[in-house]
Amino acid sequence: MKVADVYIHGEWRWPDTWVTRYPSLLDLQHFTSHSADKVVWRSSSGLELDYGTSSVWNDIRTAHDEVPWSDMVWFPQAIPRHSFFMWLLVNKKLKTQDIMARWLSSGNMNFNLMCCSLCTLGPDSHEHLFFECPYSDQVWKGVKDLAGLHNVTNSWGSIYDHLVHFRGSKNAKHVIGRMVVSAAGYFVWQERNARLFSTKKRGANRLIEVILTTVRMKLHTMRFKRTSQVDSILQDWSLPRGLVIEDDDCG
């Protein structure tokens, strides 16, 4: 209820159920105010703020320091399902075979018989899949140059360090680099699972094509500031000149 609903013509008009439960309401002093009713939020530090979900959420949530990889996982140009996958990847939450091998086996299941479904050379792991496996290494080498990642090796540590270093950059090359790494990891993981749970297989060259096509389609929805670097990017990715604008860097 609003104050105006219970304070009428200079008198408190409390609902009977309120007075029964809280008799002290009868002792409440009268007041004079010409201000309009409004909803406010008194913060944990005692400040009165305009009520809003943002101010309330920031006040009641448990805050932590921002992680260094946030901008390389969540950024405006990202494909949402790829961002969610990258969140799992950087936190090493994917159920790779080396992790499953630590679980207690039951029945006739023997985790020692597991092998990477991409190369069959041994159990897969986080580092193996991204991108030290011969199959995923071939995929990485097939996509990294177009993403401007020529000098980045196939180890996840090297890739992670590069992305974190440029995590806040709006430079078109760095944005595309994040997109390509996310797409490469997503589709390698997808291929790994497809081979584990079905008979479907795609060669490395086919997966490279899928990754680059997916990123190219996303680039068609973006706009780029006119620079010599962007002209080169448009040419390399076979994108139309109509994507160039004069204002933002990479939108």
| Torsion angle (degrees, nearest 10) of CA 172, 210, 185, 173 | -10
Rg of the chain taking only CA atoms, in angstroms: 28
Q: Are 241 and 216 a contacting pair, CB within 8 Å?
A: no
CA 151/CA 177 separation, integer angstroms: 12
Q: What is the DSSP letter of 128?
A: I
Give the span between the Cα atoms of 211 and 165, in whole angstroms: 23
pLDDT along the chain (251 residues), means of 10: 83 91 88 74 88 89 89 94 97 89 63 82 92 97 95 95 92 94 98 93 97 96 87 91 69 50
The number of CA neighbours under 13 Å toward the Cβ of 77 is 31
159 CB contacts (<8 Å, ≥6 apart)?
Answer: 130, 131, 149, 152, 153, 181
pTM: 0.75
